């Protein structure tokens, strides 16, 4: 657990939740053997929450949190328009980093977190889209 349940306020902002859940995902993936490259990469096309390496494969990670599974839960909260923005951002990142998008092994994963923010249930979708 990253934090004390008692230390979380009831009025945690969306920004706070984003920071908390992205940190949770980062630590979870680090325990799975991935190495952090960059957090919150921004371009004009959008944002990538986490960029990590899984061996020699670049993994671009979208982190989504939902307290409950109403309306499809965390996984359903990534519409096609958001997926396109992420894909464009990945292409931009690879070009900016001097990597060839056709020869660089990479994938886009989703870490979906649901439940209590202090101890969410984790679903890791590799090659999500």
In this structure, the strands spanning 35-43 and 106-114 are unpaired
CB 49 within 8 A of CB 70: no
Provide CATH code, domain 12-125: 3.40.1350.10
CA 48/CA 86 separation, integer angstroms: 7
- The residues spanned by each domain of the chain are 12-125
pLDDT of residue 126 exceeding 90, the answer is: yes
Predicted local distance difference test score (pLDDT) of residue 71: 66
56: helix, strand or coil: coil
DSSP designation for 6 = G
Is 50 in contact with 113 (CB distance < 8 Å)? no
pLDDT in tens, 93-120: 999 999 998 999 999 999 999 999 889 9
In this predicted model, which residue has the larger pLDDT, 127 or 68? 127
Question: From the CB of residue 114, how many other CB atoms can be counted at a distance below 10 Å?
Answer: 18
């Amino acid at each position: 657990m990253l934090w004390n349940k008692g230390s979380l306020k009831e009025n945690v902002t969306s920004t706070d939740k984003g920071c908390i859940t992205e940190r949770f995902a980062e630590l979870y993936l680090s325990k799975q053997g991935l190495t952090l490259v960059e957090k919150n990469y921004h371009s004009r096309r959008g944002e990538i929450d986490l960029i990590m390496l899984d061996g020699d494969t670049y993994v671009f990670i979208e982190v989504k949190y939902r307290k409950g599974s109403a309306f499809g839960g965390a996984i359903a909260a990534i519409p096609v328009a958001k997926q396109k923005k992420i894909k464009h951002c990945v292409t931009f990142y690879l070009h900016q980093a001097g990597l060839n998008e056709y020869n660089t092994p990479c994938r886009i994963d989703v870490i979906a977190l649901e439940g209590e923010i202090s101890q969410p249930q984790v679903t890791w979708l590799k090659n999500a889209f």
